[in-house]
Homo-oligomer: A and B are copies of this chain.
Amino acid sequence: MVKAALIVIGDEILSGHTLDTNSQFITAQLREINIRTVSICTVPDSVDAIQKGLETASESADIIITTGGLGPTKDDKTKKAYQHFFNDALVLDESTFAHLSEYLNRKGRAHLLEINKQQAMVLSKAKVLQNHYGTAPCMQIIENDKMYFSLPGVPYELKHLVSEQIIPLLKNHFQTNYMETRFISVVDFPESLLSQHIESWELALPQHIQLSYLPIGNRVKLKIIGSGSDKASVKKELDNEIEKLQPLIGDKVISWQGEAIEEILGELLTRKKLTIGAAESCTGGAIARLLTSVSGSSNYMKGGIVSYATSIKTSVLGVSETFIKEKNVVSEEVAMAMAQGAKKLLQTDISIATTGVAGPNTDNENNEIGKICYAIIIGNQSYTHTLFLPHLDRKDFISFVAQRVLQDVVQYVDT
Q: List chain A positions with a Cβ less than 8 A from chain B.
A: 8, 11-21, 23-31, 36-44, 49, 56, 71-75, 109, 112, 115-116, 132-133, 154-156, 159-160, 190-193, 195-196, 202, 212-215, 223, 259, 278, 280, 284-289, 291-293, 295-298, 301-309, 311-312, 315-316, 345-347, 359-361, 363, 391-396, 398
- Give 25 pairs: A residue, B residue, CB < 8 Å, sorted on A: A12-B212, A13-B24, A17-B223, A18-B24, A20-B23, A20-B24, A23-B42, A40-B41, A56-B56, A71-B213, A74-B195, A75-B212, A115-B196, A133-B391, A284-B291, A285-B287, A285-B289, A285-B292, A285-B304, A285-B306, A289-B289, A295-B360, A298-B308, A303-B312, A316-B316
What is the distance, in angstroms, from A72's C-beta to the closest C-beta of chain B?
4
Q: How many copies does the complex hold?
A: 2
**Which residues does chain B contribute within 8 Å of A214, judged by CB atoms?**
12, 17-18
Contact check, A38 vs B14: say whether CB atoms are below 8 A apart: yes
Pairwise interchain contact A192-B288, C-beta atoms closer than 8 A: no
**CB pair A115 B192 closer than 8 Å:** yes
Q: A286's contact among B25, B72, B195, B285, by CB below 8 Å, is which?
A: B285
Please indicate the chain B residues that have their CB under 8 angstroms from the CB of A20 in the complex.
20, 23-24
Shortest CB distance A23–B (Å): 8
Shortest Cβ distance from A282 into B: residue: B292
List of B residues within 8 angstroms of A298 by Cβ? 308-309, 363
Rank and list the top 6 A-B pairs by shortest CB-CB distance, nearest first.
A284-B292, A16-B28, A285-B288, A285-B285, A16-B27, A304-B306
Query: In the complex where A31-B16, A75-B213, A303-B305 touch, is A193 in contact with B40 (Cβ < 8 A)?
Result: no
- Distance (whole angstroms) from the CB of A394 to the closest CB of chain B: 6
A311-B347, A316-B346, A396-B156 known; A14+B40 contact, CB < 8 A = yes
For A30, give the chain B residue with the smallest CB separation: B16
Residue from A115, A132, A284, A291 having most chain B Cβ neighbours under 10 A: A284
